[in-house]
């Protein structure tokens, strides 16, 4: 079993999901009291949150690549950036280390293809929905990605940063997200990517008119499979920066 290195704290609320799912999958596969060999480098979220809102992505890259190097030095044989937004610097982390870095959009893209979907909606932070780094990665998998209208994107973004990363779950926000998903379905989306790992704390299939694609869960499950050497060959897709 390869040791999985998690670059987490992005936020810790969703890093918990990763740790739980990875260990559940390993136990299911190996049985008994087995759990995953894993390491977590948890970053102070307030620090990186301030950096991304100041558009200081170079400093974010430095923090995450340093975390990746440290995890590799401690014995990690596979790395994950436990975030959709911060996957913007996943390629930087990969260039800084000598072990594979499993990109969250590749795990999501593989699942979408496996389900036979072609057009999907995307919910996430404003950075993930509006900037090209994530949508281009999915487009390289042959997928057509649609995003909500501007005012809806603002609501999704606000709920993430004002509520979800702080562990606040409001029914009114769940209802608003469900309506946005309905609108994406009307635009032809066959499924919806929960493209911020914290959204999985709020939304599940029962809240959605179309299948949900929970990015943190899919990323964690793919990592467990790869660590056990039976995961799918997700491929490595590079997109222009």
In tens, the pLDDT along 183-236 reads: 999 999 999 999 998 999 999 999 999 999 999 999 999 999 999 985 444 544
Q: What percent of the chain has pLDDT over 90?
A: 91
Which CATH class, in words, describes the domain spanning 105-215? alpha beta
pLDDT mean across residues, the chain:
93
Mean pLDDT computed over 88-94: 96
Q: Which residue has the tokens 């999958």?
A: 25
Q: What percent of the chain has pLDDT over 70?
A: 95
Q: In this predicted structure, which of 19-23, 54-58, 226-230 has the lowest mean pLDDT?
A: 226-230
pLDDT digits (tens, 9 = 90+) for 128-179: 999 999 999 999 999 999 999 999 999 999 999 999 989 999 999 999 999 9
What pLDDT is stored for residue 229 in this prediction?
Answer: 80
Pinpoint the residues of the chain covered by CATH 3.40.50.1860: 4-103+217-227, 105-215
User: Dihedrals φ, ψ of 234, to 5°?
Assistant: -70, -25
What pLDDT is stored for residue 230 in this prediction?
Answer: 54
Burial class (CB in 10 A: 0-12, 13-18, 19+), 230: exposed
DSSP secondary-structure letter at 11? T
Cis peptide before 138 (omega within 30 of 0): no
* Structural fold of domain 4-103+217-227: Rossmann fold (3.40.50)
Spatial separation of the C-alpha atoms in residues 178 and 172, rounded to whole Å: 10
Of the CA atoms within 13 Å of residue 235, those in its CB half-sphere come to 14
């Amino acid at each position: 079993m390869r040791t999985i290195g998690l670059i987490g704290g992005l936020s810790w609320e969703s890093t918990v999901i990763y740790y739980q799912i990875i260990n559940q999958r390993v136990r299911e596969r190996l049985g008994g009291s087995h759990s995953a060999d894993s390491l977590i480098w948890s970053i102070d979220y307030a620090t990186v949150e301030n950096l991304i809102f100041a558009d200081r992505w170079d400093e974010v890259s430095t923090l995450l690549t340093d975390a990746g190097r440290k995890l590799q030095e401690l014995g990690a044989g596979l790395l994950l950036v436990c975030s959709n937004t911060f996957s913007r610097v996943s390629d930087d982390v990969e260039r800084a280390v000598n072990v594979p870095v499993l990109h969250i959009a590749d795990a999501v893209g593989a699942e979408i293809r496996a389900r036979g979907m072609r057009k999907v909606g995307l919910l996430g932070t404003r950075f993930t929905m509006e900037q090209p780094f994530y949508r281009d990665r999915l487009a390289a998998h042959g997928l057509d990605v649609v995003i909500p209208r501007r005012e809806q994107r603002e609501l999704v973004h606000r709920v993430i940063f004002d509520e979800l990363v702080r562990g606040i779950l409001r029914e009114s926000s769940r209802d608003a997200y469900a309506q946005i998903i309905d609108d994406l379905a009307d635009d032809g989306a066959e499924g919806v990517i929960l493209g911020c790992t914290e959204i999985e704390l709020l939304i599940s299939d029962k809240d959605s008119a179309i299948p949900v694609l929970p990015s943190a869960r899919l990323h964690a499950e793919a990592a467990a499979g790869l660590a056990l050497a039976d995961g799918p060959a997700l491929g490595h897709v590079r997109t222009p920066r």
